[in-house]
Amino acid sequence: MLTKIEKEKILKELRATKWDVTEELEILEARINKQDLPRIRIDHHEDGKHRFYIDYGESYVKGDKQVAFLRVTELKAIVFEEQQVRAFWREDEDHPRCYAIDETILSTEPMSPSCEQCPESIPGFGACKPKVRLFVLPLIKNREMQPMVLSLSPTSIKPWRDHQLKLKRSGLPPVAVITTFGLEDTVNDSFRWARVQVGIRGIVSRENLILAKQAQQGISRVKTRVIPQDFSEAGDRVEKSDE
């Protein structure tokens, strides 16, 4: 791991040898796969005090924040893209055995001709979990607006679908409204978690609509893949067998 002092020393040496650090970082950003969008996750608590946090991912700089907990109990965001994703994962594997985006199977060796015919997709029995992957611009006080990913678990999909139905009846697309995401304490047997509830809090400004359009154009590569970060919650993967 690098300390921030060591990082600054490296950057200073680069500039001394006439390297344009800004340009090099822009080239790097253009070449990477855009898979590293920050993710909004839920910290589920057994005492019911659930909360949102931002997962920025790992870096080489010691002390850099990897997560940031949010003080808000209700997250406001502009939803500019949605995908239905499915994946069958084994523990300790970096790639899913089979996966689909918006009901199109993209695996080279699918487990079934379609998700509907696959036994692993049967709710309560199969290990292939459906999720809704939302690409959002969070409206967080004192934070720069930037694209992030919010994945809704199976128990939170229905509130999202109910929200979409209300928008359809109102003649509004999701991107036109400021969407609210709240955390509803839910208990089932001995398990306690937060289910996401969805609502609206006003109309999106023209300026932010332009930002949302730009963000939508910048996620084209992310949209074609399912990555480990999409299925990293408890219960998202099945134990690896000896096959």
| pLDDT tens digits, 147-200 | 999 999 888 999 999 999 999 999 999 999 999 999 999 888 778 889 999 999
Q: Is the pLDDT of residue 234 over 80?
A: no
CA dist., res. 120 & res. 108, Å (int): 17
Q: Is the pLDDT of residue 63 over 80?
A: no
Q: Is the pLDDT of residue 202 over 80?
A: yes
**Portion of the chain with pLDDT greater than 90, in percent:** 39
**Portion of the chain with pLDDT greater than 70, in percent:** 91
Q: Which residue has the tokens 């300790």?
A: 92
Sign (positive/negative) of CA torsion 28, 61, 58, 83?
negative
Amino acid at 142: N
Q: For the range 207-210, what are the long-range contacts, defined as Cβ-Cβ under 8 Å and sequence gap of 24 or more?
A: 208/78, 208/137, 208/145, 209/175, 209/176
CA dist., res. 236 & res. 151, Å (int): 12
Amino acid 188: pLDDT: 81
Amino acid 64: pLDDT: 67
* For residues 207-214, average pLDDT: 93
Amino acid 243: pLDDT: 46
Q: Rounded to the nearest 10 degrees, how much is the dihedral formed by the CA atoms of 213, 26, 40, 134? A: 30
CA dist., res. 158 & res. 178, Å (int): 19
Question: Are 85 and 133 contacting, i.e. CB atoms less than 8 angstroms apart?
Answer: yes
Sign (positive/negative) of CA torsion 107, 108, 109, 110?
positive
Which is higher by pLDDT, 216 or 95?
216
Question: Are 79 and 212 contacting, i.e. CB atoms less than 8 angstroms apart?
Answer: no
Split at pLDDT 50, 70, 90, the class of 33 is: low
* For residues 13-27, average pLDDT: 84
Q: Is the pLDDT of residue 14 over 90?
A: no
Which is higher by pLDDT, 118 or 235?
118
Burial class (CB in 10 A: 0-12, 13-18, 19+), 25: exposed
Amino acid at 107: S
Closest CA to 152 of 65, 46, 77: 77
Q: Is the pLDDT of residue 208 over 80?
A: yes
Helix (H, G, I), strand (E, B) or coil at 57: coil
